[in-house]
Structure 1
Amino acid sequence: MSDPVTLARQWIEGDPDPVTRDELQALIDAGETAELAERMAGSLQFGTAGIRGRVEAGSNRMNRAVVIRTTAGLAAYLESQGSGLVVVGRDARLSSEAFMADTVAVLAAAGIPVRYVATPVPTPLIAYAALRMEARAAVVITASHNPPEDNGYKVYDANGAQIVPPADGDIAAAIAAIEAAAEVPRLEFPYVSDQVAEVEPDLFAAYLDDLAAARPASPPPGDLAITYTPMHGVGGRFVVEALARFGYHQVRPVAEQFDPDGRFPTVAFPNPEEQGALDLAKAQAERDGSDLIIANDPDTDRLAVSVPDPAGGWRPLSGNQVGVLLANYILTHTTEPRPIVINSIVSSPVLAAVAEHHGAGFAQTLTGFKWIWNAALELEAAGQGLFVFGYEEALGDSVSRQVRDKDGISAAVLFADLA
C-alpha cells in the first residue's frame, strides 16, 4: 500500500479544485503525515443515508473531487440500468451550491437529463419530486443534522426510496472504477444545457395538495399556538406555509433561527435532539404562551416536539413518543382495511402493541429509513396490506405515501392535528 504522502500527491494531480489541491499540498509541506493518513484512508462509503463527511481535501472527505467521482460512478451505474431522469437538490450548507453544480455538470455531460431546484430545499421535497416525475434517481446534497463542517450526498432509487443492496454496492463499484476527478467530463455551464431544467415551480403546491388528500379527517384546528424553529435549515417557509394551509395560523417562528444559514450560528450542533438546541424556542414559547414547540433538523426530514410540562417549563418528547403518538393517530383514522406500520430495530416495540390494538400489520427493519420504505414496498408487493406509517427513534417519521422517506413537513402538520 502506498504511503499517505504518495496517495496525497496522486490525489492532488487528479483534483480539479485549486483550493483543495493547495490545502493538501500545505499538509504535505508541513509534514502532517498523521493528518494525511486519515484524509487518504480510503474513501467515503454509502451508509444509512448516503455518504457524509467533513468538507476538506482528500479521498476520505467531502469535496468537489469526491462529488465529481461519486456522480460519475452514479452516472455509469444509471447508464448500465437504462438511465433516465435524475432530480437534484441541495440544502443551505456553505459547500452545497458548488457540490450541486458539479453533480448536475457531470450528469448532463453523461447525457442524463436533469431536473433541479435552484434554491435550498427540504430533502423530502426532492424525494417527492422524483416520485412525482417518475425519475430514475434523485440526488440531494445534504448532511442533514451533522455539524456545519460536514456535507453529504444522498441517493434515491427509481422506486422513490433510498438505495439499498445491491444498488448501493453496484454504485460504489462504479465509483471505484472512476479515474481522477479532473478527467471526468463536466459541462462548463450545466444550467444552460438542453439536458438540464428547473423543477416546475408548482412543486410545493402539488405536495400540499397530495398531503391534503392523504391527511386523516380531523376537526378544525382551533387556536393552537405553535412555536417553530427550522434550526437554521431550509424548512422555515415551507413548514409555516404547510401549517397555514391546514388552518394553523398562530405559528410563531424563532426569528434568530428562521433563515437558512449553513454556519448554524446559534447552536453548537444543529440537531434538535441535542442538549440546548431548543433553548431559544423554549424561551420564546414561554414568552408567547405557546401550546406546542415543533422543530426540524436542517434538511427538514426530522421532527422534534416539546410540550408544556405540568411542573413548569417544557418537556421534549422522544422520537419513540412522537412516533407512537403519530401511529396511534393515523391508525385511528385510516380507512385502509389492512394497514401496515413499520419501525426500526432500535425503536420502541410499543409500536407492535399499537398495531395489534388496531388490527394492523407490523414489521421491523434495520436502522435507516431506506430499509423501512423498501420493506414497505416489498410487503405491499406480497399482498400483505398498505403501508400507512413508519418511524425511527431518531425523530424520523413517514406519515404519508407521497414521500418514501422520513418527512418533517407532513409530520409537523399531523402532529399539530393530534395535539
Structure 2
Amino acid sequence: MNITEEYNLWLQHTADNQELHQELVAMQNNKAQIEDAFYCELAFGTAGLRGVMGAGTNRMNSYIVARASQGVANYLKQKQTQPAVVIGYDSRNNSRKFAEITAEVFAANGIKVHIWPELMPVPTVSFATRYLKAAAGIMITASHNPAKYNGYKVYGADGCQITTEAANSILAEINKLDIFKDVKKADFQTALASQQISYIDDAVYNAFLKEVKQQSVLFGEEVQKDAAIVYTPLNGTGLKPVTQILAEAGYNNIKIVPEQKLPDGNFPTCPYPNPELAEALKLGIEYAKKNNADLLLATDPDCDRVGIAVRDEHDEYQILTGNQVGVLLLDYICSQRSKHHQLPEAAVMIKTVVTTAMAEQIAQSYGVRTINVLTGFKYIGEQIGLLEQKGKAGNYIFGFEESCGYLSGPYVRDKDGVNAAYLICEMYSYYSTQGVSILQKLAELYKKHGYSINLTCSYEFDGSTGLAKMQQIMNNLRQGVAELAGKKVISVLDYAGGINGLPAENMLQFTLEDKCSVIVRPSGTEPKLKTYIYAIGESKAQAEQIAEKLIASSKELLK
C-alpha cells in the first residue's frame, strides 16, 4: 500500500475521532505533511513506541496505541494462560487517555489490568509489575522529550524493559493486525465495575517508598537536614513521591518552583524538559537565587532522571553533569558501605559504555567490580536480573548512566528519580555535616583520579531523509578515521558486530592518544546522532581545551 492509499484509508476510518479526522482533512492538499505522517510506521522496539502525537502511521495516536496493545496482548496470551498487566502514565498530553485505551484493549482480551489511579513516575510501573507478579508493565511516557511527543514503554515480568527477542515477537504480532479491524476494546468504566480493570492500591505505592528509604547508606549516622532545597518536577510526575519521601526523611526546608509544580503536558516554561540541559534548570536556578537555596533538584516528566545545581562559594549555581553526580554518588555509597562494613564481598557497579571511565577507577579503588553495558538503562536492569537469578542481587550497589539516570537498589529495574533525589539530598547533608561541599568533594575526586570531562553532543536529522542521512554518516565513519583534533586514533570498536558479549548496537568508539575517546551512535528514541566526548587532562583548563577541540573535530565528521 502506498502513502496516498494509506492516507485515504485513515481518512475513511477515523470519522469517529473528530480531532484526528480534522487533522487528516487539513493536510489533504499538503503532500509533504502526508508523506511525513505516513511514509513509515512508528518503530516498535525494546523501548516500545515513541513519536510526535498526531494523525498517521508515523505518529503517536489512539489507533497506534490500541494496535500496539493488541499486539502485546496476543503475545502475552501465548506465554501465559491468565496474564495480568500494570499500566502507568505521566503528565503528558493524552497520557491518561492512551493509558485508558491500553487498559480497554487488555481488558477486552481477558487480561487483568492493574492501573495506577493517578499519574506516577516510571519506576513505580517497574516496581508494581514485580510486586503484583504481572506478566508485563506499560508506561505511557516520552520521558524528557518536548511536549509534542508521547510514548509507550513496555516492561517484562521482571520489571525490566523488554528484550530484543520479546520486542521482535511483539512487533510480529502487531504487524499481523489490521489497525481498524483487528483490535478488541472494552468500555473502561464497565471493565472497572467488573474488576477486569482495577486501580492499584496505596499499599503498593507505600511499599515502593519503603524500598527507596532502605537505600540510605547512613546506617544510623546523624546528619544535618536543614539544607535549603529547591525542587522542580518540571510539570511532571515527581511532585508527590519526591516531596513525600524527603519530608518523611526529615528534609523540611524545601520549596517548589511554582510555575513547574503542577502537571502540565505543554511544559510552558520548559520546552525541552530534560534535566540534563541548562535551559530546563533555568527557572529553578532563578528561584534558588531568590531563596538563597543550597541545592536545586529537577526531575524529568516521568521522574526517572534527576538534574542538580549547587551553590558555590560565590553564591552562583553550578550545574553538575550526570557523570559528575554519578561519580559522587558512587563514591559516597562505596565509602559509607566500607566504613560501616556493609560493602558486599563481591560488590558490583554497573554503568553504560558511554558513561565516564572515572567511575570504573573509583569502583576499583574500593574493590568493587564494574560491569559495562550498552547505552540504555534496560541493560543495567538486565544485569541486575542476572545477578538475581544467581541469588546475588544484594551484590549490586549502584548503577548509572551519563544522562542523569541512577539506581542504588535491585527493587526496580529502571532508573529511579525518587531514589536519586533521596540519595542526593542525603549525600549533600552528610558532606555538609562534615564541613565539606559537594564541589569540594568533586574536586577531591578529580585530584585523586585525574581531571576528566565528559560531554554529550546531539545532532538532529529530522524528516523522511533523516534516517538515511544518519545511516550514511555511520557507514562513512566505518571506512576509517585516522585522527580527531590532532590526536591519533589508536583503536576503533564497532559494536555493530557485538563486543565483549554485548548485543549488537550501531555504535562506534574511537580511542585516541592520551586516554581520550569519542563515541558516535544514533539515538534509540529520537532522530539524532549523539557523540560522547571523553577528555582527560592534568588540569580543568587543559581538559576543557581538549574537549572543545574534540567536539569541533567530531562535528565535522557528522556533516
Instruction: Name the TM-score, length of structure 1 as normaliser.
Output: 0.95
Supply the AA of the counterpart residue of 2:166.
A
Measure, in 2, the Cα distance between the counterparts of 1:222 and 1:65. 49
Shift of 1:76: 0.5
Q: Which residue in 2 is equivalent to 1:240?
A: 243
- Look up the equivalent residue of 1:210 and give its one-letter code: E
Higher alpha-carbon deviation: 323-332 or 107-116: 323-332
Quote the offset at 1:152 in angstroms.
0.4
Output the CA distance in 2 between the equivalents of 1:211 and 1:301.
13
In structure 2, do the counterparts of structure 1 residues 111 and 91 end up closer, same or farther at CA, with 3 Å as the change threshold?
A: same
Q: Provide the residue aligned with 2:206 in structure 1.
A: 205
Q: 1:34 is paired with a residue of what secondary structure?
A: helix
Give 1:383 deviation, angstroms.
6.8
Provide the C-alpha distance between the structure 1 equivalents of 2:13 and 2:194, rounded to a whole number of angstroms.
25
Q: Is the 8 A contact 2:352 2:401 kept in 1?
A: yes
Alpha-carbon shift at residue 167 of structure 1 (Å): 0.6
Q: Which residue of 2 aligns with 1:26?
A: 26
SS state at 2:396 partner: strand
Q: What pairs with 1:87-126 in structure 2 (closer than 5 Å)?
A: 87-126=86-125
Partners in 1 of 2:166 and 2:284 — Cα distance?
41
What code does the residue aligned with 2:281 have? Answer: L
CA drift of 1:231 comes to 0.6
Q: Is the Cα contact below 8 Å between 2:46 and 2:161 reproduced in 1?
A: no
- 2:537 aligns with none
More displaced 10-residue stretch of structure 1: 184-193 or 315-324: 184-193
Note if contact 1:147-1:269 (Cα within 8 Å) is conserved in structure 2: yes
SS at match of 2:153: strand
Any idea what the Cα deviations from partners look like across 1:355-404, whole Å, max 9, x if unmatched?
11111111111111111110232245357772221111111111222221
1:82-103 per-residue CA deviation (whole Å, 9 max, x = no partner) reads: 1511000111112111111110
CA 1:271–1:338 in structure 2 vs 1: closer, same or farther (change >3 Å)? same
How far has the Cα of 1:13 moved from its partner? 4.0
Instruction: State whether residues 120 and 237 of structure 2, in contact with CA within 8 Å, keep that contact through their aligned partners in structure 1.
Output: yes
2:375 to 367, 372, 388: 367
Q: Cα distance 1:221–1:156, how it changes in 2: closer, same or farther (>3 A)?
A: farther
Match of 1:274 in 2: 277
Q: Is the 8 A contact 1:65 1:182 kept in 2?
A: no
Structure 1 residue 310: Cα displacement = 2.9
Q: Deviations over 1:206-238 (max 9, x none)?
A: 222222333222433431111110011111121
Whether the 8 Å contact between 2:66 and 2:102 is mirrored in structure 1 is yes
CA shift in 2, pair 1:221/1:11, >3 Å = farther
Instruction: Determine the C-alpha separation between the residues in 2 that align with 1:63 and 1:377.
Output: 33
Task: Report what 2:457 is aligned to.
Answer: none
Write out aligned runs for 1:263-302 (5 A): 263-302=266-305
Counting only pairs closer than 5 Å after superposition, residues 300-379 of structure 1 correspond to structure 2 as 300-334=303-337, 335=342, 336-379=344-387
Identical-pair percentage: 36
Is 1:54 equivalent to 2:74 in the alignment? no
Say whether residues 1:402 and 2:400 are aligned partners: no
Q: What is the CA–CA distance in structure 2 between the aligned matches of 1:3 and 1:43, rounded to whole Å?
A: 12
String of CA shifts for 1:29-76, please: whole Å, max 9, x gaps: x2x122211211221223563211111000110000000000000001
Structure 1 equivalent of residue 222 of structure 2: 219
Task: Tell me the equivalent position of 1:193.
Answer: 194
CA contact (8 A) 2:46 2:167 kept: no
- Pairwise CA RMSD: 1.7
Cα distance in 2 for residues equivalent to 1:125 and 1:390: 18
1:91 and 1:398 map into 2 onto residues whose CA distance is 20
- Pair 1:81–1:309, CA change in 2 (3 A): same
Tell me which amino acid in the other structure corresponds to 1:404: R
Query: Hey, which bits of structure 1, 4+ residues long, moved more than 6 A?
Result: none
TM-score (norm. length: structure 2): 0.72
Letter of the 2:369 partner, please give it: G
2: distance between equivalents of 1:182 and 1:330? 54
Secondary structure of 1:310's match? coil
Work out whether residues 384 and 410 of structure 2, in 8 Å CA contact, stay in contact via their aligned partners in 1. no
The offset of 1:259, in angstroms, is 0.7
Q: Distance in 1 between matches of 2:132 and 2:224?
A: 32
SS in 2 for 1:273: coil
SS of 1:214's partner is coil
The structural deviation recorded for 1:139 is: 0.3
CA contact (8 A) 1:4 1:40 kept: yes
Q: Please report how far the alpha carbon of residue 118 of structure 1 lies from its aligned counterpart in structure 2 after TM superposition.
A: 1.9
Q: 1:142–1:173: structure 2 CA closer, same or farther, 3 Å change rule?
A: same
In structure 1, list runs of 5 or more residues that go unmatched: none
Counterpart Cα distance in 1 of 2:158 and 2:95: 25
**Take 1:285 and 1:111, find their aligned partners in 2: how far apart are those partners?**
50
Counterpart of 1:199, as a letter, is I
Does structure 1 retain, via aligned residues, the 8 Å contact 2:309–2:319?
yes
Structure 2 CA distance for aligned equivalents of residues 416 and 56 of structure 1? 40
Q: What CA deviation, in whole Å up to 9, does each residue of 1:247-292 have, x standing for no partner?
A: 1111111111111111111112111222322122112211222111
**For 1:39, which of 34, 37, 40 is the aligned residue?**
37
Structure 1 residue 142: deviation in Å?
0.7
What corresponds to 1:260 in structure 2? Answer: 263
* 2:65 aligned to which of 64, 67, 76: 67
Whole-Å separation in 2 of the counterparts to 1:79 and 1:247 = 46
Larger relative contact order (Cα-Cα within 8 Å, sequence gap ≥ 6): 1
Moved more, 231-240 or 306-315: 306-315
Letter in 1 for 2:383: A
2:154 alignment counterpart: 155
Q: In structure 2, what is the Cα distance between the partners aligned to 1:256 and 1:302?
A: 20
Please say if residues 278 and 319 of structure 2, whose CA atoms lie closer than 8 Å, have aligned partners that are also in contact.
Answer: no
1:85-144 deviation line (CA, Å, top 9, x unaligned): 100011111211111111000000000000101211111112111111111110011111
Q: Deviations over 1:266-321 (max 9, x none)?
A: 11211122232212211221122211111100110001111113344110010001
Amino acid corresponding to residue 194 of structure 1 in structure 2: Q
How many residues are aligned here? 416
